[in-house]
Amino acid sequence: MGNTIVVLTPVVHGLVKLAGLTPQTMEIEPGTLMNIWVPKETVTKNDDGDFVYVPPNKPAVLLLHSFGLDGIFTWFLQVLALTKDYSVYVPDFLFFGGSITDSTERSASFQARFVAKGLEKLRVEKVTLVGLSYGGMVGFKMAKMYPKLVKSMVMSATVIELTESISRDSYKRLGITKWSDLLMPETVDGLKYLFCAAFYNFPWLPDFVYRDILETMYTNRKQRNELLEALVVPDNDASDTHFSQMIHLLWAEDDVIFTLDLATTMKKQLGENATLDSIKDAGHLVPLEKSSAYNKRLKCVLERGTKYQRADHKY
C-alpha cells in the first residue's frame, strides 16, 4: 500500500506553490533551522547565489499551526484564499515539519522567539498573527514579547496560557491524564480518538491511512512530549491578560478541547480589545473543517485591519 501522506504532500505543496508561496530553509542560529513558506516575490538571489529577502509588498499575515499537523497541512486552505491580497508566511514550529534545533529549551516563548527571528531575517516588520491551538499559545507569547511586530491577532481553539486548571477540565472532558495522551497518539485507535475530538464530524477513513499518518506526521516524539510538558503552567504563574493589540477570537461552537465557554471567559479577561465570533457545526480544527466560514470571517477581520492601517497613514 502506498503511503497516503507521501501521495498527498506533493498535491498540497503543489497547490500552495501555485498560490504563490515557496518553501525556504533558513538557519536561525547555528544548530537551529527553520522551514517556512513565504511569498515567492520576497525571495531573490545575489550574485553569489545566496538568498536575499525583500520585505513583503502586501499586508503580511502570519499563520501559526496546531500541534497535530505542520504549518502547511494546517493552513493550506487559508493560503489559497489569502495570497491574492496578502503576503502570507507559514512557518513550521521547532520539531514540526522541517524545523529543528539542538537547543534543549522547550517553552512556548522559545518557539515565539524562533518565529520572530525568522521574520526578522525575512524583513517582515508587521504582521497580523493568526493562531490555531498550540499556534495561538505561541502567538500570545509573541504578541507580548514583540508588540511592534504583532499588529493584531486572530485566535482559534486556544488559550492565553495553558494552566493546570484549564488542563484538568479538558482532561476530564476527554478522559485523558496528560496532553500527550491525546496529542501524541501511538496507535490507530489513539489517532482516531484525536481526530474524533478535533473535528465535529470527521469522515470515515480506512485504517491504513491512519497508520500512514502516524508514521509520517508523528516524528520527534521525545521532543514534542517535552514541548507539551513545558506548556502546562501552575495557575499562579499565568501571565497577565493585558495586550496592546486587537484580538479576534474565532471559535468553533463544538470545540470539546477548548470550549466556547472558555472563549467567553477569555474574552472577558482580555477586555475592550477582544471580540468573539463563533462558527456552527465545527470542532477544534475549524480552519480545516469549516474553511469557507472561517475564511470569510478571517478576511473580514483582515480587511478591517488594513483599512485602519491606511487611515493611520493618512493622518
Ligand X SMILES: *[C@@H]1O[C@H](CO)[C@@H](O)[C@H](O)[C@H]1NC(C)=O
Which residue ranges make up the site for ligand X (CB under 6 A)?
242-244, 271-273
What's the min distance (Å) between Cβ of 269 and ligand X?
9
Cell of 169: 477540565
In whole angstroms, what is the distance from residue 152 CA to residue 64 CA?
Answer: 14
Amino acid in the structure at residue 15: L
What's the min distance (Å) between Cβ of 244 and ligand X?
4
If the CB atoms of residues 129 and 183 are measured against ligand X, the closer one turns out to be: 129
What's the min distance (Å) between Cβ of 243 and ligand X?
5
Cell of 238: 499565568
What's the min distance (Å) between Cβ of 271 and ligand X?
3
If the CB atoms of residues 44 and 244 are measured against ligand X, the closer one turns out to be: 244
What's the min distance (Å) between Cβ of 274 and ligand X?
8
Backbone angles phi, psi at 167, to 5 degrees: -60, -45
Amino acid in the structure at residue 207: D
DSSP designation for 74: H
If the CB atoms of residues 243 and 258 are measured against ligand X, the closer one turns out to be: 243
Phi-psi map region of 175: left, alpha, beta (phi>0 left; psi -120 to 50 alpha):
left
If the CB atoms of residues 151 and 224 are measured against ligand X, the closer one turns out to be: 151
If the CB atoms of residues 57 and 244 are measured against ligand X, the closer one turns out to be: 244
For ligand X, which residue has the nearest CB? Answer: 271
DSSP designation for 203: P
If the CB atoms of residues 152 and 180 are measured against ligand X, the closer one turns out to be: 152
DSSP string, 205-256: --HHHHHHHHHHH---HHHHHHHHHHH-B-GGGPPP---SSEEEEEEETT-S
What's the min distance (Å) between Cβ of 143 and ligand X?
11
What's the min distance (Å) between Cβ of 153 and ligand X?
12
If the CB atoms of residues 10 and 147 are measured against ligand X, the closer one turns out to be: 147
In whole angstroms, what is the distance from residue 179 CA to residue 170 CA?
Answer: 9
What's the min distance (Å) between Cβ of 59 and ligand X?
19
Cell of 92: 513550521
If the CB atoms of residues 153 and 182 are measured against ligand X, the closer one turns out to be: 153
Distances in whole angstroms, Cα of residue 62 to Cα of each of 5, 142, 253: 25, 11, 24
In whole angstroms, what is the distance from residue 296 CA to residue 288 CA?
Answer: 13
List the one residue out of 104, 103, 96, 110 whose CA is nearest residue 142. Answer: 110
DSSP designation for 163: B
